[in-house]
Structure 1
Amino acid sequence: MIENTVYQNELSGKVALVTGGTKGAGKAIAERLKRAGAQVIVTARNAPDDTGHGLYFVAADLSAPEGAAGVAKEVFGKFGGVDILVNNLGGSETPAGGFAVLTDVDWEQTLQINLLAPVRLDRAFLPQMIKNGSGVIIHIASIQGKLPLHDSTLPYAAAKAGLINYSKGLSKEVSSKGVRVLTVSPGGIMTDAAQRMMQRISESSGISVEEATQSVLNALGGVPFGRFAKPEEVAELVGFLVSPRAGYLTGTEFVIDGGTIPTV
């Protein structure tokens, strides 16, 4: 395999933090960076059954300011900082039914997880990166930042649009100081969270899970590639972007959606 041969040592000596790194795409990203030689720290609310392959776990609820502060304190105390920060944590737990069923709590919780958590962690680790004159920050956004779905993920789409804009603005500020900032916007990824979303749509609409999945595909205008992404495919893109091979890339959004977005 490519990742086990050509690239296996390219991140040796680097410390990487991957939020939401125990499941789905986050877990795949963490494992990909570990295979490239990095010391990888992962965060989540609850410890996984097996962090696997020497990953260092920090329990944290990043939807609150104290969660980010706790992660920063432990990481600085244990590792002295990070070279790579992958803000992967995100998701939508809001109900289906459009704007009218969404409460202030729905909006606030979604914005906290998908936008403010990355902002807080960037604020915690950027000064050290700037002092070192190097570092890479990856924001995992979504094609919903440009192609929103109104039925069940409107707050999520709005938060990811904000994250994309914030990421670009941040890159303009810190790239000249040696820190690269990039956005990765996946389309559908077949994770456990995605399956739960399909289940919620199924229950609220009185249709099967298969019909709910097809309705999401239809709402997106279809996926020319014919399927959602595998977590490992997103991880491989991130693995490249944080590597020295991508040293001139900053301020750019990379879309990985199987051709879903229909415009240039």
Structure 2
Amino acid sequence: MSHHREGSGEPLVLIHGLGSRWQLWQPVLPLLRGSFDVVALDLPGFGASAAVGAADVGTFADAVTAFAAGAFPHAATFHVAGSSLGGGVALELGRRGVARSVTAFAPIGFWGPVSRRWCQVSVTAARGLGRLARPVLPALAATRLGRVALFGMFFGHPGRLDPAAAVADVDALVAAPGFAAARAAFAGHRFPGAGAGAVAGGGLVADGSAVAGVGALGGGVPVTVAWGSRDAILPAFQARRAAGALPSARHVRLAGCGHLPFSDEPAVCADLIRTTAGAA
């Protein structure tokens, strides 16, 4: 899989969401590379990685596990953070005991039929808009008002985006060969729930600050689930479902953040990853 690697320390894998690419994590990479050997991946069918067939959470988890075995040959497990689809993959890796710790930002799988369909339709519409608006996209993205109009569904503070990077992200979304298969696979994915085995104590937090008491999946894997209060793709009411399905995990509300909180609050997001990893 195509990837970017930097830093030193314990292994950490970063996994993007539907239609995205490893560059999603660029706002937090400078804050993580001093603590971790960080690998940010392009999932199969996204970014610069070729599609390889099935595009469900389990298949992606298999691919990440195989990749990590080669990238970190001396480590039996690795820390993982994921966004949206990548959050669902990260939780699956934690459920399997492959991950050393899990930080999931607005993970898929805590939806009902209506909210799942809303996610699929919203991201598909954004892809279509990106294709149609491509001739004028650089000019629109160059203005703060244009970035708010174009990217407000995904970010709490779209005005903070780098215009060139935002246009490149749209190009990656439009070009992703694995998009349709991964979107369709959403219909068959739902987090298995508390039966997967949550065992340690945690708590619901009202803001994005780091707290003690990181919860765990079965096997003692520390897990934090974070949700932006302005998430319009997977609306934050799904955070309550996540708290019910994973009652022992740490659940964090990211005030003012959107579905992709990394440019909204990079320091907070990096701190959540470090704190969760530190509980392993």
Bigger relative contact order, structure 1 or 2 (CA pairs below 8 A, ≥6 apart): 2
The structure where helix makes up a greater share of residues is 1
Normalised-by-shorter TM-score class: 0.3 to 0.5
TM-score (norm. length: structure 1):
0.43
Answer with 1 or 2: which has the greater Rg. Answer: 1
